[in-house]
Amino acid sequence: MKLKIISLILAALMLAAALTACTQPAGTADDTTKSADTTAAETAKETETGNTGTESAATEENYDGKLIFDHSMQLKYAKCFSVDYYKGGYKVAKLVDNTTMLIVPEGMSVPADKPENAIVLQQPVNNILVSSTPVTSLINAIGALDAISLTTYDVDSWYIDDVKNALTSGKMTYIGDYKAPDYEKITAAGTTFSFFSTMLTDDVKEQLTNLKVDVVLDQSAKEEHPLARVEWAKLYGAIFNKEEAAETVFNTQDNYIEELSKLEKTGKTVAMFYITSKGVLYARNADDYMSKMIALAGGEYATRFLNAPRYCPI
């Protein structure tokens, strides 16, 4: 009898164990092991790549509407302008005459804390008026000529084929002399930004201001070194997102002058002058950038003793 009871108890315990095994979800132990292995593998992968989520969040930080300084443009000769770069693609350019331009990347908003009285240029910058042959030539050199739609120099005034072709094809429009531009054409073109030389007259500037056309005066003529004028290509590179092309343009000329400096001096003197449309002969003074270019090329300017421009009626 006692043996029969013991047998019944053992059978009950075996049945309970079997029922417990049946109620456990299939594969639980294996899945737990697999999950642990997967987590370990993913952690190892993140450690290997350095991507723990922090870097991704920093990369995707939103700089829209914020001016957070990053770095300044490196300049070798130019002293009459500067460009500061900010996070998110913002740029602030300043000229020696206190003109400030805030360059806003495409799709980004204008920061509320923008520099006071800054001219805002929303990229892409296009449909502009340029009344300066040096500015136009540098903009063309960096591959941004398409941004210019209006000019105060007619096709016969140019020797640069790209500019002449733009005028003859209608991509660029002549609007009359810089002293008396055609304001109706400017208005019709919808132009809101312009580059002029320092020869711009007050009455023209006032009229352009009334038409809500921002005016920036090219200050490159104030630079001391001839190559500093070429370096102004970097300013236009910043405006049109052509920094790499501008760097190439400048470096090409800088390297060219560097090679010239290695040549033996000839000791020969050079005279430089031109005759105006009014029949006046104009000789460059010793501090003129053309005189300095002669020196850079190894020559000696014949009229280096002159301290001021000399005019001689013909």
List, for residues 97-137, the tens digit of each pLDDT value: 999 999 999 999 999 999 999 999 999 999 999 999 999 99
For position 269, what pLDDT does the model report? 85
Domain membership of residue 122 (yes or no) is no
| CA gap 83, 92 in Å, rounded | 6
Domain membership of residue 120 (yes or no) is no
Q: Mean pLDDT over all residues of the chain?
A: 83
Q: What are 215-271's pLDDT values in tens digits?
A: 999 999 999 999 999 999 999 999 999 999 999 999 999 999 998 888 887 778 888
Q: What are 172-206's pLDDT values in tens digits?
A: 999 999 999 999 999 999 999 999 999 999 999 99
Domain membership of residue 159 (yes or no) is no
Strand pairing category for 148-151 and 128-131: parallel
User: Are the C-beta atoms of residues 195 and 98 closer than 8 Å to each other?
Assistant: no
At residue 55 the predicted structure's pLDDT band, cuts being 50, 70 and 90, is very low
Domain membership of residue 160 (yes or no) is no
For position 303, what pLDDT does the model report? 67
pTM for this prediction? 0.75
Domain membership of residue 293 (yes or no) is yes
| CA gap 89, 103 in Å, rounded | 8
Residue 25 tokens, joined = 């979800």
Per residue, what are the HEC states of 75-123?
CCCCCCEEEEEEHHHCEEEEECCCCEEEEECCCCCCCCCCCCCCEEEEC
At residue 309 the predicted structure's pLDDT band, cuts being 50, 70 and 90, is very low
| CA gap 110, 121 in Å, rounded | 10
Domain membership of residue 287 (yes or no) is yes
Number of independent structural domains in the chain: 1
Question: Domain range spanning residue 278?
Answer: 269-313
Domain membership of residue 121 (yes or no) is no
Domain membership of residue 45 (yes or no) is no
Is a pLDDT exceeding 60 seen at residue 168? yes
For position 304, what pLDDT does the model report? 58
CB-count exposure of residue 230 (10 Å: 0-12, 13-18, 19+): buried
Distance of CA 288 to the CA centre of its chain: 29
For residue 190, give the H/E element and its range.
Answer: none
